[in-house]
Structure 1
Amino acid sequence: MRTEHVEDWLSRLASAGPAPGGGAAAAMHAAMAAALVEKVCNFTIGRPSYAEHESLVRRVCQEASELRRQAVELADADARAFTSVTEAYKLPANGEHERMARSAAIQGALVMAAAVPVRTAEVASRVLELVERIIGRSNTAVLSDLAVSASSSGAALASASVHVEVNRASINSPEVAERLGDAVAKIEEAIENAHRISAEVRERISRAAPVAR
C-alpha cells in the first residue's frame, strides 16, 4: 500500500479479487483520519495565536503520524489475512486427516483475520483521542478537517466491527468468540464516542466565523 498508486489500489478494491476488501478499507479510513489530525496540527504549529498549545500540538502531530503508519500497515495485513483464510478453505479434505488439518488451518486463519480489525479499531480509537485533545487548541480555520477525522475514525470503527463479527461467526472456540464479542462491544462504545466528538466539532464550526486558511 505504501508504494502503490491510489488509483491502482482502488481498482484492486473494486475488482473481483479476494483482497483488498472491506477490512483494508477500514484501515485506510483510520489512516486518513490520522492524516487529517496531522494536517490540523501542521496548520497550527508556528501560528502565534496558538503558541501556548504548540508543545501539545507537536506531540499530537507525532502520534498521529505514527498511527497513520500503523493504519497503512494494517491495510496490507488485512489483505494478507483474508488471503490466508481463502487459501485455508482451498485445502484438500479427502480423508479424516486432511479434514482435520483443513479445519485447523481455517480456524487459525480466522483468528488471525479477526485480530486485524481489532487492531484497526484500536488505532481509530487512538486517533479519536488525538482529535479530542486538540479541540479548542488548534487552528479554527481547519475545524472541518477535525470533524472529518472524527467521522473517518467512526467509519473505520464501524467497518472494523463488521469484520470482527464476520470472522467471529465462523470461529469454533468459545473462548476466542467471547473475547472477540468483548472487543466488538468496546468498538461500539468507541463508535458512539466518534459521533459525540464529531458533533462537538460541528457545533464549534457552526459558531465559528469563517476564517481563511
Structure 2
Amino acid sequence: MSQPSISSPESASFGAVQVSEYLSELAAKVPAPGGGAVAALHAAQGAALIAMVARYTTRAKDAEHRPVVDRVVDAADAARGRALALADADAAAFTAVGAAYKLPKDTEEQAAARAAAITVALIEAARVPAAVVDEADEVLSLAAELLPIGNPNVVTDIGAAADAARAAATSSRLNIEINVASLAAADGDRFAPTLLRVEEIVARAEGIYADVLHAVRG
C-alpha cells in the first residue's frame, strides 16, 4: 500500500509521512510541497536539535543548569510542533493562491470577487513564512541560551540548529517577497518588519555557528 500524498490540504500532514515519501513529493511535478514547506521543516529540525542537546545536558554535573535546560526542552519541543504545523499551512496557502487565480472573471462582479480572493490568499501565503521566521528566531534564541551550558559532546548540533534556523529564515524571506510583490502596498507593508528581521537573524545564526566552530577547533 502506498504512503499518503501530502500535496493537498486534505491529505496527510507532514508529521504523518516518511521522509522518503516527503522527498518524493518534493521532487514531483506538483505545486506543493515546495520551498515554503522546506523552510518550515528547517525550523522544525533546528528546534528538534536544540531539544536533543538540552536532553543530553542532564548529567549530574549539569544540575545547576537544570531549570534552564528544562525550559529550553519545553520551548524547543513547542517550536518544533508549531513549525511542523506551518509546513502543512504553507501547502494549504499555496493551494489557495492557485485556486483564487482560477476563479472566473467574466463579469465585473466576478472579477472583483476574484481580486479580493487573490488578495486574501496572497496575504495568507506571506503570513505563513513570516511565522516561520518567528520560529527561526526562537530557535536561535534557545541556541544562544544553551550554548554556554550545553553538553560539549553534542555542541556541533547547536551549530547545525543555528544553520537550520538561518536557512528557515532566508528561504521564508523569498516566499514572503514573491507574495508581497503581487499585493498592494498597503497590504504588503505589514510584512516589512519581518523582512528586516531576517538580516538580523542571519547575523545571529552566523555568530552562533562561528562560536560552535571555535569550540570544536579549540
Please indicate the TM-score interval, normalised by the length of the shorter structure. over 0.9
Aligned partner of 2:67: which letter? S
Query: Counterpart of 2:37?
Result: 24
Question: Partner of 1:39 in structure 2?
Answer: 52
CA distance in 1, matches of 2:61, 2:213: 21
Which residue does 2:118 correspond to in 1?
A: 106
Q: Which amino acid aligns with 1:59?
A: R
Give me the identity figure in percent.
40
Stretches of structure 2 that go unaligned for 5 or more consecutive residues are 1-13
In 1, Cα distance between equivalents of 2:89 and 2:65: 36
Q: After superposition, what is the alpha-carbon deviation per residue over 1:84-109, rounded to whole angstroms, capped at 9, x for unaligned?
A: 00110111111211111111111110
Runs of 4+ aligned residues of structure 1 deviating over 3 Å after TM superposition are none
1:61-119 Cα offsets, whole Å, 9 max, x none, are: 11100000000000000000000001101111112111111111111100011000000
Task: Work out the CA distance in 1 between the residues paired with 2:23 and 2:141.
Answer: 29
5+ residue gaps, structure 1 = 208-213
Structure 2 residue 153 is matched with structure 1 residue 152: no
69, 73, 81: which one aligns with 1:69: 81
**2:175 aligned with 1:163, yes or no?**
yes
Range moving further from structure 2, 183-192 or 138-147: 183-192
Root-mean-square deviation (CA, aligned residues, Å) is: 0.9
Q: CA deviation at 1:199?
A: 1.0
- Deviation, 1:49, is 2.2
SS at the partner of 1:2?
helix
Match of 1:133 among 145, 170, 182: 145
- Alpha-carbon distance in structure 1 between the residues aligned to 2:87 and 2:67: 31
Q: Equivalent residue for 1:78?
A: 90
Task: Give 1:15's aligned amino acid.
Answer: A
TM-score, normalization by structure 2: 0.92
The equivalent residue for 1:175 is: 186
> 2:23 matched to 1:10?
yes
How many residue pairs align between the two structures?
205
| Residues 133 and 172 in structure 2, CA contact (< 8 A), matched pair in contact too | yes
Measured in 2, the distance between the counterparts of 1:2 and 1:138 equals 28
Which residue is 1:59 aligned to?
Answer: 71
1:51 Cα offset (Å): 1.7
The offset of 1:182, in angstroms, is 2.1
